Structure 1
Amino acid sequence: MPLDETALGRALSQAGADADLSSHTVLCRREAGAFQRAAKSGDDLLVACTQESRLFLALNDETEGAQPVTERPIRFVNIRETGGWSRDAKQATPKLAALIAAAQLPDPEPVPTVSYASAGRCLVVGPADAAQRAAGLLADTLDVTVLAEGRSGALSQRRAQAQHTGRLTRLQGWLGSFEAEWTSDNPIDLDLCTRCNACIEACPEGAIDFSYQVNLDLCRSHRDCVRVCEAAGAIDFQREPQAVTERFDLVLDLGDTPRFTMHQPPQGYVHAGRDEARVLQAVLTLKDLVGEFEKPKFFQYKRKLCAHSRNEQVGCKACVEVCSARAIRSEADSSGGIFVEPHLCVGCGACTTVCPSGALAYAYPNTVDQGRRLRTLVASHVKAGGKAPALLLHSEGAGARMIEDLGRAARVDAAVHGVPARVLPVALWHTASVGLDLWLAAIAYGAANVWVLLTDEEAPEYRTALGEQVAVANAILNGLGYAGTPVALIEVRDARDLPALDQALRAPAAQTVRQPAAFATQSDKRATLDLAIDHLLAQAPQASDEIVLPKAGAPFGAVVVDSDKCTLCLSCVGACPESALADNPDRPQLRFVEKNCVQCGLCETTCPEGAITLQPRLWLSGAGQARKQARVLHEVEPYHCVRCGKPFGTLKAVELMMGKLAGHAAFQGAALERLRMCGDCRVIDLYSQPNEVRITDL
């Protein structure tokens, strides 16, 4: 690859990155000697080769006088397939400088961990013959229990493992904590059966075979089997169906249909079906899942910001609906809000991307660290002389492999362009973990495009959610006059889609901001959105007072109140989790701060009169300041007490209350008139009528 040492060193200096390239020009395993000399120096080490990372780590361990990686980490960055092997390789120096600068950033802040403990208790469920074969492969490492479903093969004469027959009715849990429940309703009890085979010989219909289960469709109730099994007592046609519940650490599912149907099944559960190759791979996987394990707790949840529910009314359900691991459940009928089971969470971050309020936030890395990385990439590229940088967000797994495949194809095929010089790949744990706030921040930092590379790793829910967020982002940016398609999804499946990926990465650049932003992304999602939108508005090519947003996924908008229906009961104020709706203690008013509204819909579902509708939009009147100020949505004159004249309630509310209670037996005559009085006068009048029967006396 055409690596220009002098130009790259100059670009790194311009980008503010600290690196010594004086003697390292190959940047791969041929530099092993130079690497060992550098390892002894104690300086920070950055290796521009991810392919040989294991080699360099081993070299560091074997080099006398070198610091261990626990004291001085060694960082790796791929600049070959991502830019050096491309038709733009000679123009890729700013990109290489940006990638190297970003690779030198400190590691993300540590987060709490989630622990698993597995003692190797494994349930193998499926057809008898397949389940026993798999159990035999696992038995040398794991404590195996076989649940044979149906009459699908002979059971072993030897009780090498615990064996059950029945139908699995429930399976839940995760690695180290699965709970399985099955029902056994066959007359033969396998725990009592001695495998003497007398019942098989005695049955005149052949209803019993070496599965040791009675085929009730063939059985004609001769009960010869019961007679010959009298000593063991294993056969009882009067036995009630038995429900068995046991706990396991691991589950191997050999059924045709997976027991967990979500896109991301729990860790410790493997569905292999009847494919022998998949069964062998599953066996190897499960054997490694014995011991104690940890993973990061990928999310942070702030219940007070959650817009899911209030008073058993449900508003925003975005996180519950998008979670492909079914790790999130609603608690609207109990404590309110949601609950995220950290043992089921796989760290995709989709819930944090669709959360409009920021109640759910991605923790590893957090938005502050991730924003610093995006800003470093874009700023370093521009400072080193690059133009219109495009960020390509991709997964560390299939996405990274697709980009590497494209680079290798460009190396040998003149028809393949490779990753263009302006495209900066950004590896993420999962592509769904970065959303609208960081996309808009990246555009504010000077990126021309933000592209999200989707492969077959992404669940359908993620594709839908990301598509909705992309539509919102482009509506905002196009509404502000930024031409082109700043944010887009690039969908590929496998190597056959490389030509499509190659073409997509050469899409024209969208319009960039005149002056890049310098703000730092915040831990609070709404704060980052406000900073990004304020900067984009200040740099906007065209003025706009209002941008209509798509209804799906819109985190901004207005509340529209039908004044003919609204009684100013203020139920909506109590339901609003974001303080977007408020009352006025001095006057009957409903006030609204549009900046705070997350379009959760709780006000709409709570309103007893159906007077509220939502209007997704971004209101930018007054240079964006109007949306930050409280405005009155509805106001009426107060109703005055008929006895003392003190204002209380509203005319419409009092009249509505009297109309609804006029026919009630407890509100007749003077009792109905008291509804026109304030609370104090109502009590005085009630106790000034000594002969009147009061409800409290009944």
Structure 2
Amino acid sequence: MATQFKVCNCNRTMPLDLRAGERLGAALGDKPLAVATELCRREAGQFLSAVDGVDDVVVACTQERALFTELAETRNSVAPLRFVNIRETGGWGAESKAALPKMAALLAAAALPDPEPVPTVSYKSNGHVLVIGPAARALPWARRLADNLDVSVLLTSGGAALPDERSFPTYSGSGINIDGWLGAFQVKWKQANPIDLEVCTRCNACVSVCPEGAIDLSYQIDMSRCTSHRDCVKACGAVGAIDFARDDVERTGDFDLVFDLSDAPILTLHQPPQGYFAPGADAMRQAEEALRLSQMVGEFEKPKFFLYKEKLCAHGRNGKTGCTACIDVCSAEAVSHNGNGIRVNPNLCVGCGACTTVCPSGALGYAYPRAPETGRRIKTLLSTYFKAGGSEPALLMHGEERGAEVINRLGRAARAGERLAGVPARVIPVSLHHAAATGLDLWLSALAYGATNVAVLITDQEAPQYAEALAAQLAIAQTIASGLGYAGTHFTLLRAQSEAELDAQLAQLRPGQAPQNRAAFNVATEKRVAMDYALEHLLRHAPQRPESIALPQRAPFGAVRVNKDACTLCMSCVGACPESALQDNPSHPQLRFVERNCVQCGLCEKTCPENAISLEPRLLLTESAKQPLVLNEAQPFHCIRCSKPFGTLQMIENMVSKLSLHGAFAGNIERLKMCGDCRVIDMMENKREMTVTDIKRVQ
């Protein structure tokens, strides 16, 4: 199926004319493109003609997305409609006249088929909201929300009168714990105040008799003023709402939504769960969050962002913990320990992809979209860019929300004459669901495809651990590129909150050296396979070809070093290795190692009972990385009875030395030098001899 491209120079504010249309058409493998001037106004007919068919339609305008969508609906159009921004990302800026290759690249990427659908995660909310906070803040919002939602209130302090009418459940407490997500929150707290608001009838008897005036119409006792007369307890009488010695203080409740009006959020996660809102004391934010909250009633779906392959996971074996990278980086606490593997809670996952970026084995993969689909987009961007005559391309990977906002503001500021250059012509923005959603496999592939820079843009929206993880992973990629002799800086983390900061950092990007021959492979589904493809291409065309490259700690490649004097070849490390990097030899006492398989998880190091193993992060670039290397071997010990080899000489000697003085073995120490079969035979013969001796004694 063909694709129709609708391009507009936005009232002649971009350098797009007839000649530019011809060049764009040539780069896109199509006839010359017609360039409109007012596609959203006088020339809307061109758009309507395009959507009357069934071909895909790519509109090079995102500002008027809503208008074009509405126009298509008036025609009952069935044509797939896509939008791409070529204005703020390149058409507006100091280098706009040189940005045509980038525009062609963005148009080509927008024309790609939609990614494969992914499983979804469902939520169901009946609108039962718990409002938490001081009475003066929580009660007014509870009254407003009660018109449309099923409201409960948990007061953390008094100071405001409770409503005359008991129109919603009201609790008080401290030590609040919140667990769950939209439609499935469980909240626990302690009934700290002597007055239980759900039992209290609000008769004011306690208020009247309190000699210290420690009780007001919030019906909570100010313990700093109370002198324990207990007149209030007597006044409450059989109602029993006041108890200074309450044993049962634990309270719990299930809610669909949580509106936390505490000064500091109870949940301190950088990415709190869906359905939790914590605007604090800011009145404007309270109103905004209340509006969002009121709309979260019904059934909702989101993509399941990740794929987990437990067989590849290097988290743990036999009770030992190895790699914890995914758990450490997750800002939503969606990843947790689960025996020898990990568990990812899809309801808490926000789709940042940081866990997949740091996963050394590829056990966790990003699914929205999958790596091969993102790889195809990167490859299309770069190949089209080169075809259109571009050179030294830089990819600017950014989140689709805050990152895109900063880029668009930069483009508008450059057009408005604010002394900002805008996005350089060679810098191609790559929108991602989240800035942390790509990693070494895609970055190295981009370099193999000809990108001279891969920059990842983060803003204040990203969690601090994401920034640290991205910086560490980018440093690994740069170490590899530099170790292969590619000159310059290729992989960069940009931190910008404003258009001015981004403008300054983009101006500092200098092209790194890329391979002269661009790769043709497609990004593989398996992360390790994808990295192998990229590394093989980069090595084949590298200015330098070292045997190995030393890498930073926690890199996903490396060697295992064994202290032969300490190692007893017990093979505990072989049983612990999740990637088959460490192997035994069934026919000989040998510990072997395949370096290409190693992910440096550290399970072997932690499992070794002799502390004989250490790790060396590095990238071995010779063929020997794929071949089994003997790390340690020993002379086999031969059974003293049948001469069959079993165990190792060192192991048997150590065992005999340690057990010879033990009372249970002292009389049968020679048996330790026998194989299993001979040991049984010797035990039976010894038993027979003892039996014969006993019979003779009886006779």
Q: 1:392 to 1:99 in 2, by over 3 A?
A: same
Q: How far is 1:499 from its partner? A: 4.2
Q: Give the equivalent residue in structure 2 for 1:35.
A: 47
User: What is the SS of the residue equivalent to 2:436?
Assistant: helix
Q: How far is 1:354 from its partner? A: 0.2
State how far apart, in whole Å, the 2-side matches of 1:309 and 1:658 are. Answer: 33
State how far apart, in whole Å, the 2-side matches of 1:588 and 1:392 are. Answer: 52
Q: How does 1:179-194 map to 2 (within 5 A)?
A: 179-194=186-201
Q: How far is 1:256 from its partner? A: 1.9
| CA deviations over 1:422-459 (Å, ceiling 9, x no partner) | 11110000010001110000000111111111111110
Q: Give the equivalent residue in structure 1 for 2:460.
A: 456
RMSD between aligned alpha carbons? 1.8
State how far apart, in whole Å, the 1-side matches of 2:39 and 2:511 are. Answer: 31
User: What is the SS of the residue equivalent to 1:137?
Assistant: helix
Q: Give the equivalent residue in structure 1 for 2:474.
A: 470
Q: Give the equivalent residue in structure 1 for 2:15.
A: 3
State how far apart, in whole Å, the 2-side matches of 1:668 and 1:691 are. Answer: 20
Q: How far is 1:691 from its partner? A: 7.1
Q: Give the equivalent residue in structure 1 for 2:574.
A: 573
User: What is the SS of the residue equivalent to 2:137?
Assistant: helix
Q: Give the equivalent residue in structure 1 for 2:273.
A: 266
Q: How far is 1:26 from its partner? A: 4.8
| CA deviations over 1:540-592 (Å, ceiling 9, x no partner) | 0112111000113x111111111111111111111110111111111111111
Q: 1:654 to 1:22 in 2, by over 3 A?
A: same
Q: Are the counterparts in 2 of residues 150 and 165 from structure 1 also a CA contact under 8 Å?
A: yes
2:127 alignment partner AA: G
State how far apart, in whole Å, the 2-side matches of 1:256 and 1:655 are. Answer: 68
1:447 alignment partner AA: A
2:424 alignment partner AA: P
Q: Are the counterparts in 2 of residues 253 and 272 from structure 1 also a CA contact under 8 Å?
A: yes
Q: How far is 1:654 from its partner? A: 1.1
| CA deviations over 1:36-85 (Å, ceiling 9, x no partner) | 1222133321111001100000011112xx423xxx32010111111111
Q: 1:236 to 1:91 in 2, by over 3 A?
A: closer
Q: 1:414 to 1:170 in 2, by over 3 A?
A: closer
Q: How does 1:85-100 map to 2 (within 5 A)?
A: 85-100=92-107
2:417 alignment partner AA: D
Q: Are the counterparts in 2 of residues 137 and 283 from structure 1 also a CA contact under 8 Å?
A: no
**Structure 1 length as normaliser, TM-score?**
0.94
Q: How does 1:617-628 map to 2 (within 5 A)?
A: 617-621=618-622, 625-628=623-626
* 1:122 paired to 2:129: yes
Q: Which runs of 5+ in 1 are unaligned?
A: none
Q: How far is 1:13 from its partner? A: 4.3
Q: Give the equivalent residue in structure 2 for 1:551.
A: 553
Q: How far is 1:415 from its partner? A: 2.7
State how far apart, in whole Å, the 1-side matches of 2:247 and 2:547 are. Answer: 72
Q: 1:153 to 1:107 in 2, by over 3 A?
A: same
Q: Are the counterparts in 2 of residues 5 and 21 from structure 1 also a CA contact under 8 Å?
A: no
Q: How far is 1:215 from its partner? A: 2.8
Q: Give the equivalent residue in structure 1 for 2:611.
A: 610
Greater shift in the superposed pair: 233-242 or 279-288: 233-242
User: What is the SS of the residue equivalent to 1:201?
Assistant: helix
Q: How far is 1:165 from its partner? A: 1.2
Q: Give the equivalent residue in structure 1 for 2:4.
A: none
Q: How does 1:480-491 map to 2 (within 5 A)?
A: 480-491=484-495
Q: How does 1:250-329 map to 2 (within 5 A)?
A: 250-329=257-336
User: What is the SS of the residue equivalent to 2:637?
Assistant: strand
Q: Are the counterparts in 1 of residues 24 and 33 from structure 2 also a CA contact under 8 Å?
A: no
Q: 1:566 to 1:134 in 2, by over 3 A?
A: same
State how far apart, in whole Å, the 2-side matches of 1:255 and 1:97 are. Answer: 50
Q: How far is 1:164 from its partner? A: 0.8
Alignment equivalent of 2:111, drawn from 104, 126, 141: 104
* 1:683 paired to 2:680: yes
Greater shift in the superposed pair: 226-235 or 340-349: 226-235
Q: 1:548 to 1:14 in 2, by over 3 A?
A: farther
User: What is the SS of the residue equivalent to 2:610?
Assistant: coil
Q: Give the equivalent residue in structure 2 for 1:389.
A: 393
Q: Are the counterparts in 2 of residues 417 and 502 from structure 1 also a CA contact under 8 Å?
A: no
Q: 1:479 to 1:502 in 2, by over 3 A?
A: closer
2:566 alignment partner AA: K
Q: Which runs of 5+ in 2 are unaligned?
A: 1-12, 692-699
2:145 alignment partner AA: L
Q: How does 1:54-453 map to 2 (within 5 A)?
A: 54-63=66-75, 66-68=76-78, 72-230=79-237, 232-332=239-339, 336-413=340-417, 415-453=419-457
Q: How far is 1:86 from its partner? A: 1.4
State how far apart, in whole Å, the 1-side matches of 2:596 and 2:382 are. Answer: 28
User: What is the SS of the residue equivalent to 2:614?
Assistant: strand
Q: Give the equivalent residue in structure 2 for 1:597.
A: 598
Q: How far is 1:163 from its partner? A: 0.5
Q: Are the counterparts in 2 of residues 456 and 493 from structure 1 also a CA contact under 8 Å?
A: yes
Q: Give the equivalent residue in structure 2 for 1:21.
A: 33
Q: How far is 1:664 from its partner? A: 2.9
**Structure 2 length as normaliser, TM-score?**
0.94
| CA deviations over 1:327-383 (Å, ceiling 9, x no partner) | 000123xxx200000000000000000000000000010011000000000010011
Q: How far is 1:210 from its partner? A: 1.5
Q: Are the counterparts in 2 of residues 17 and 100 from structure 1 also a CA contact under 8 Å?
A: no
State how far apart, in whole Å, the 2-side matches of 1:265 and 1:156 are. Answer: 31
Q: Give the equivalent residue in structure 1 for 2:63.
A: 51
User: What is the SS of the residue equivalent to 2:457?
Assistant: strand
Q: 1:482 to 1:29 in 2, by over 3 A?
A: farther
